[in-house]
Structures are given as C-alpha cells and as structure tokens.
A and B are shown apart, each in its own frame.
Chain A
Amino acid sequence: MIELQKLLERVIQRVNINLRELGYDVSPYVRDLVPLTQKVKFYAFYGITPHHPLDLQFHGASLAGSYFLGRCRVSSSLLYKSDIRGDELKKKGSVFRFQEQEIVLTRDERFDIEDSYLIKTLVHNYSHDPETPEHFFIKDTVSTHYANIHGSPTEGCFLGPFATVDLTTVHDCVIGPFSYIQAGEIWHLNIPPGTIWVRSPGHFNFLYRFPPEALKAYIAFSPGEVPRGALMDFVNQRKHEFQRIFEVVNIEPSVRVPANASLDRYAVVRPKTRISENVLVSQRAFLQNAHLGKGANAQENCYIINSRLEGLNVTAHGAKIIEADLGTGVFVGFNSFLQGRPQARLTIGPHCIIMPHTIIDAAAPLTIPAGHLVWGLIRGADELAANSISLEALAAVSDGLHQGELFFEGSGADFVKGFQQRIHHILEANGAFYDGNGQKGHAQRNQNISFNILQPYPEGPYQGLSPTTIIRE
C-alpha cells in the first residue's frame, strides 16, 4: 500500500501548492478522511452502451467503488465511490455556443482527472469553458463527500462536503461545505460554508448564506474529523441498503418499469414505489414509497421517501425529498434537503423552483404556493416568508432586491427565464417529453447498460491501485 500512501501525499501537496495564496492546508481535512484500507474493498465499474463513446484510460489511480460512463482519463488520482458520468459530454462535430461564437468540436469531449482525490463525488454534464470545449479537466483538486462537479472544470481546488460547483470554471478556490457556486469562472476565492451564489455577469447576481451555527446542525466539517450533521446521519442510516445491490451481479427490478423509463440497477427501490413513463432513476438513487409521475427524475444520490411527485419533476443530484407532495414541474436543486414529517407533510405547489442547497425542515405542515422561488434555511412559516418570492414578483425586479439574507442585483426576469430554460433543457435531456418519436433522452438511452468491473491490486506495494488500463470500443 506504500504507493497508495505516496499518491495521497502527492495529491495533498499539489492542492496545497495551488491554495498557498489562500493559506489553506487541506491535509488535516483529507489525510485520514477515508482509511486507505477502504480502497481495496470495493471494485470500480463502467458502463457499456451503444449510445455513448467508450474510451477509458486509467494510470496510477485508485478507483474504489467508482463508476465511469463515456470518455474518461484518470491519472495519478484517487477516486472513492465517485460517479464519473459522461452521458452529456459533447460529441465530435457538435456546436458549442458561447455568446456570439459557434465553436465546432473537432473530437469527442473527455473527462481528464489528474493529481486529484474525489470522495463520493458526482462529476457530470460537459465543460462550459469555451477555452477547453473538448477537455473537461479536474486537476490538483480534492472534493469530499457528496460534492458535485457539474459542468465545471476545476484546478487547484478543495470542495467541502455537499459542495457544488455548477457550470463554473474554478481556479485555486476553497468551496466550503454545502456551498453552491454557479458563476462562470472564479479564481482564488475562499467561499465560506453555506454560500449560495448564482451569477451571470451583466444579467443577475444572487447571493445567500446560511446562518453558520444553524448550518452546523446539518453539516459540519472540522480538521481530522469526518463530516457530521443531520445530512450525513440521513445518508449513513441508509448506507446498508446499497450494499446488497453492489454485491449482487444480476439484479431484477422490484417494480414495474415502463418501456420508456429507466431504472438504474445500482439504485435502491423499496416497496410501494411507482415509476411512470419517461422517468429516469440514476445509480445511487434511493426510492421508498415514492410515486414518480410521468417525466419525473431522480438523479444520483437522490432520496425520495414517502413522497409523491406529480410529473415533469427534476430532482437534481443529491436532493432529498421526505414526506412531501410536489406538484407538476417542481424543480428541486442539487443537494436540497426537504424534510416533511408524517404528521407535518410538506406540500409544494406546481412549477416552484427550489434553489440548489435549500433546507426545509419544519415541525408543522408547510405549504409553498405554486410558482414560487424558495431558498436557504426554512424551519417554519416565518422563514418561508423571508426565503421565498413568487416568480412573478421576482421577474418584476429590475435592479436590486434585499430580502432576509438574500442579496440580488440585476434583472429578476433574466434570472427566472434562465432557470426555466435550464429546467426545460434538463427535462428534455432526461427524455421526460419523449412521445415515442423524435429525440430520446437519458430515460430511453440508459435502459440497457452492461456493467464491467475493475479490481485493484489485492496486496503488495500497489495494493489498492488499479493496473494501467485502456478500454476502447
């Protein structure tokens, strides 16, 4: 295991060099976060489909429990139970639009992960950086539990647990736990925990931060310790449910899956779950007594428990919905934690937008009216009033808005339009609108995936590392 230890030290050094201007040392957070013995216990696996290019290259890497789909190169890196999902990478000959430019791709896009350590991280979407349209790089970066790197090339970064970088190129930054950043391109920033920042320069700027002490009850991360809080407790309590599906080679779905829907074989489905047409359920999703109406989806690391989603619902990566009823077209953003209770259900009206990284945790029944934007921490009616606004009212904002801990500048109409267009794009990409003709989405294309596994060296100096491997069509 000596080579694995050396690799870890090398990655820590690389990240620290990049973060030296911020005076940030990742080693106390990372060195003992996952025992290296864990890297031997789990196999990695990759998907084979006729719909996605197959080009995987692994060199000097530990891949324990990780999943790969599409084109990916991993070198000198540690990946632990991470999902590298390349079903939205750009294809050769496609056109990437940036402002007034149309950039034609000369080859298929590829993930390139180098000198990095990703722990239970989701990597998805495609590079939104016009400077590297064929190259989605993750370099000199450490990301921790349930972080999302979504369409965001990163170099020299540290992502805390449940942090998300979305459609943003990130250079030499620390992204605190439970922070969500969608800002185009950022450099040399140390983002405090619970910061929600969505910026489109020249159009709008949205900034909110969770009260630090209140956030610690949900997620806290200290040097030398594993992440703690209600979010980690929630996930850890259900961890054993995933063990069985990873141990069994062939597994039959326990519920009826319509012909145009997709249920990943690495998702957990508990009794009384219903899956409708055009539904997409991704790997590591957890469904229990969940009604997924037509065109709804549950992406990676989502939990939908004792809840009903009427249809055309986006439940983005890592979102959790418990004891709730969601109307048609409700969007629930990344890593949101919506917790109703059996005697205090949460009701969300149609076409609401629940911002990424929203926490709703009310002891009394709570109803969110149709067509509202909701953000931040909501533990009752007062906080709902402070942290929500109707989409109509927001669209009327033309310069600035300061409401509770939200600071907004720019055009509310642009913000609402941008979100609605993105939700429509996600539903389209997922195949929610598929009617048997026309363009298929993930729900239709991801139905038949074969999975092969990759094992590490079981002992010796390379214990825990995968042999150099090239897998191509």
Chain B
Amino acid sequence: MDNFKVRDLMVPLSEYASVPESASLYEAIVALEKAQAEFDHTKYRHRAVLVLDAHRRVIGKLSQLDVLRALESTVSRPARILDDIHQYGFSPASIRQWRLEKRVLQGPLTRVCGLVGRLKAKDFMQSPTEGEFVGLEESIDAAIHRLVAGSHMSLIVTGNDGRIAGILRLTDVFAAIFHAMKVCQLEEGETTP
C-alpha cells in the first residue's frame, strides 16, 4: 500500500463517461449509463460525467447531484432567482412555499424531467478547482490529502505531458485503504500472544 501510486488506482479516461461541452443533460446521462454498462460490474459504478472542451481538456464534472440540482432550478423562468434565494435572508418556510408554487406551475415531474433534459450540461457542471488535480505518479498519500482537504468525491489525474489521464475515485481509494486495514488487523492478530 505504501508504494501505491495514483496510476495504480485510477480509472483511465477511456473508461470514464465524458461528453463535449455542447452536450445536453440528457446526452450526459446517456453517456453515464453507457459507461456504467461497459464498466466492470463487480466494481463500484460511475457517478459522474466529465465535460470536455474542443481540445479534450476537462472543463467540468457533472455529478448525479448536479442533475437533481437542475431539476430544482427554474426551468420555465430564466431569472432562476430561487436557485440562490437562500443567501438573501428569507425564512426557510417562505422558500419552501415558493419552490412548491413554482413546481406546481411547471407541471408534473415527468414534464419537468423532459424540459431539464434539454438544458446544457455545461450550465450545471462543477468546474474543477486547483486542488482537484493530482499527478499520475504521485503517491496515494498525496491524493488522500487532496480528497480530504477539498471534500472531493474524485480527483482528475494528469499525466506527465499535462494531459488528463484518468479519474481517481474516492471509492477506489477507500476500498484500497479498507483492504490495507484488514491486512493490518490480520497481521496484528498473528503476532499477538
């Protein structure tokens, strides 16, 4: 475990779901479904889609929560004021009431889902921050520090040439650590009189 590098645990970019920046939310979800189907079913399923620019650089990550956030956003009203209304000092009860009114105006959830699917994935993705990248040859220790410090679900792995090589997922790091813990416990058990 101590000698593990990021490259040993990452998912290669080719196995991860990705869409161009022009993609709709629906196209992003289809890409995710396809990647999940092609991925080894014994492993933890992918939970996010990468959004790539014309040079195939990662410009953002779209998580399942981001898709749900799109549902919460104002589909029929471009002002989207209810998205950030919490920062203006209104009571939670009023905000709940207004969100409910808005949902009623928009119609049933199935209709809203149809509308949301047409929105741009780019508008709801999270842009990667500086601490969200990790080098291919870096240690797992360094990666753990970045996952914890930034509360990230995954890190973007860059190769020696600066290009994106893959994704290091929290779940894979956790599985490796858990495995190491079990080994430790076993070894301790064998040495205890």
Contacts and interface: CB of A to CB of B under 8 A. Distances in A.
A28 interface: no
Q: How large is the interface on A (under 10, 10 to 19, 20 to 34, 35 or more residues)?
A: 10 to 19
B79 A407 contact: no
A46 B84 CA distance: 43
B192 interface: no
A183 B89 contact: yes
B89 A189 contact: no
Contacts of A205: 88-90
A197 interface: yes
B79 A211 contact: yes
A402 B101 contact: yes
Contacts of A208: 81
Interface stretch (B91-99, B113-121, B175-183): B91-99
B85 interface: yes
Contacts of B85: 207, 407
Contact of B89 (A201, A212, A400, A405): A201
A407 B89 contact: no
Contacts of B97: 400, 402
Interface string A383-427: 000000000000000001010010101000000000000000000
A199 B88 contact: yes
A27 to B, nearest CB: 17
B81 A209 contact: yes
A150 to B, nearest CB: 20
Interface in A182-225: 183, 189, 192, 197, 199, 201, 205, 207-213
A210 B79 contact: yes
A189 B88 CA distance: 9
B79 to A, nearest CB: 5
B42 interface: no
A409 B92 CA distance: 11
A19 to B, nearest CB: 16
Contacts of A407: 81, 85, 90, 94, 98
B156 to A, nearest CB: 18
B108 interface: no
Nearest to A208: B81
B107 interface: no
Interface in B58-96: 77-79, 81, 84-85, 87-91, 94
Interface string A327-369: 0000000000000000000000000000000000000000000
Contacts of B88: 197, 199, 205, 207
Nearest to B79: A209
B81 A409 contact: no
A212 B91 contact: no
Nearest to A402: B98
Contacts of B101: 402
Contacts of A211: 77-79
B79 A409 contact: no
B81 A199 contact: no
A197 B91 CA distance: 15
B154 to A, nearest CB: 20
Contacts of B94: 400, 407, 409
Contacts of A192: 84
Residue of A183, A210, A405 with most chain B CB atoms under a 10 A cut-off: A405
B78 A199 contact: no
Contacts of B77: 211, 405
A103 B81 CA distance: 38
Interface in A274-306: none
Nearest to A189: B87
A405 B85 CA distance: 12
Contacts of B98: 402, 407
Nearest to B78: A211
A225 to B, nearest CB: 22
B89 to A, nearest CB: 6
A212 B79 contact: yes
A197 B85 CA distance: 11
A466 B16 CA distance: 60
Contacts of A409: 90-91, 94
A402 B105 CA distance: 13
A387 to B, nearest CB: 12
B29 to A, nearest CB: 26
Given A407-B81, A409-B91, 6 more contacts: A199-B89, A208-B81, A211-B77, A211-B79, A212-B78, A407-B85
Sorted nearest first, the 4 A-B pairs with minimum C-beta distance are A209-B81, A209-B79, A211-B78, A409-B94
Interface of B: 77-79, 81, 84-85, 87-91, 94, 97-98, 101
22 contacts: A183-B89, A189-B87, A192-B84, A197-B88, A199-B89, A205-B88, A205-B90, A207-B81, A207-B85, A207-B90, A208-B81, A209-B79, A209-B81, A211-B79, A212-B79, A213-B78, A402-B97, A402-B98, A405-B77, A407-B90, A407-B94, A409-B94
